[in-house]
């Protein structure tokens, strides 16, 4: 793997900011069934147009001091957090994979994952118009990496990972119909495709980790009285969080575990 040079990492930080800003628009408008193409940026409270300089990711929010210039209503702090978080994620993924052929596929997964996690949190919606094309895009982005992979079994493992998480979460959705949506099942397959590409350990961490995160979130909601034991926890954020964790810790954990066995 060729490490990413500093200018590439810096570029990915800027791209991540722009992508995060776009994801904020997508999540806001898809949740309200509005066009993401034909409407300009407007204040969610007074519908006033937002000037171009105030649309600059993170900086625009800071210039406005977190309030609309027209009506002075607060602008949700989540917007700059999503922009900055997406930028950091792009930087981390770029450093993790370097200039490897699979880098675009994992940047795409980061983009779709953040967007769908936010949509699931806000509206419990994971639209097929985003999910289903993502399978096609992901396969196309992984094809060059498959051709360059030294292990010919990597593409087969990716498909097996996709099927494994599809089957697992489909079974959970059938067993707990009020807990999981079939959109979350489709997202599990998409995540499984990418994590299976990396390794079986990454796939295992994603599967187990997402269920554990969901369980802990549910218990925390009950304990803090922000929900009941019958509340369905949005699974997309749990899947994305576990997948991100697996991307970065699966290889070191496997090496550590292998060294213990070898001793």
Does position 23 have pLDDT exceeding 60, yes or no?
A: yes
- pTM over the 0.85 mark: yes
Does position 107 have pLDDT exceeding 90, yes or no?
A: yes
Question: What local confidence, expressed as pLDDT, does residue 229 receive?
Answer: 64
Question: What local confidence, expressed as pLDDT, does residue 129 receive?
Answer: 92
Output the CA–CA distances (angstroms, integers) from residue 5 to 12, 13, 14, 93, in the order listed.
11, 13, 15, 13
The residue ranges of every structural domain in the chain are 1-99, 110-263
Question: What local confidence, expressed as pLDDT, does residue 230 receive?
Answer: 60
Q: What is the 3-state secondary structure (H, E, C) of 135-203?
A: HHHHHHHHHHHHHHCCCCCHHHHHHHHHHHHHHHHHHHHHHCCCCCCHHHHHHHHHHHHHHHHHCHHHH
Does position 117 have pLDDT exceeding 90, yes or no?
A: yes
């Amino acid at each position: 793997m060729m490490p990413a040079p500093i200018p590439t990492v810096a570029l990915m930080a800027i791209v991540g900011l722009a992508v995060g800003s776009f994801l904020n628009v997508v999540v806001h408008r898809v949740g309200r069934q509005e066009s993401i193409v034909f409407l300009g940026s407007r204040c969610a409270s007074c519908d006033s147009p937002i000037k171009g300089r105030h649309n600059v990711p993170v900086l625009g929010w800071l210039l406005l001091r977190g309030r609309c210039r027209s009506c002075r209503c607060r602008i949700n702090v989540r917007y700059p957090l999503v922009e900055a978080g997406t930028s950091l994620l792009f930087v981390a993924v770029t450093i993790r994979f370097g200039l490897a052929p699979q880098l675009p596929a994992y940047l795409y997964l980061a983009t779709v994952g953040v967007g769908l996690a936010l949509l699931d949190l806000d509206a419990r919606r994971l639209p097929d118009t985003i999910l289903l094309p993502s399978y096609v895009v992901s396969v196309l982005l992984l094809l060059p990496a498959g051709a360059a992979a030294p292990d010919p079994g990597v593409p087969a493992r990716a498909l097996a990972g996709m099927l494994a998480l599809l089957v697992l979460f489909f079974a959970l959705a059938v067993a707990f119909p009020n807990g999981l949506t079939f959109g979350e099942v489709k997202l599990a397959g998409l995540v499984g495709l990418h994590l299976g590409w990396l390794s079986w350990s990454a796939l295992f961490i994603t599967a187990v980790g997402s269920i554990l995160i969901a369980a802990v979130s549910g218990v925390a909601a009950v304990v803090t009285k922000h929900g009941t034991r019958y509340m369905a926890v949005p699974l997309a954020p749990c899947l994305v969080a576990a997948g991100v964790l697996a991307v970065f810790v699966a290889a070191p954990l496997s090496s550590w575990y292998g060294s213990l066995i070898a001793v």
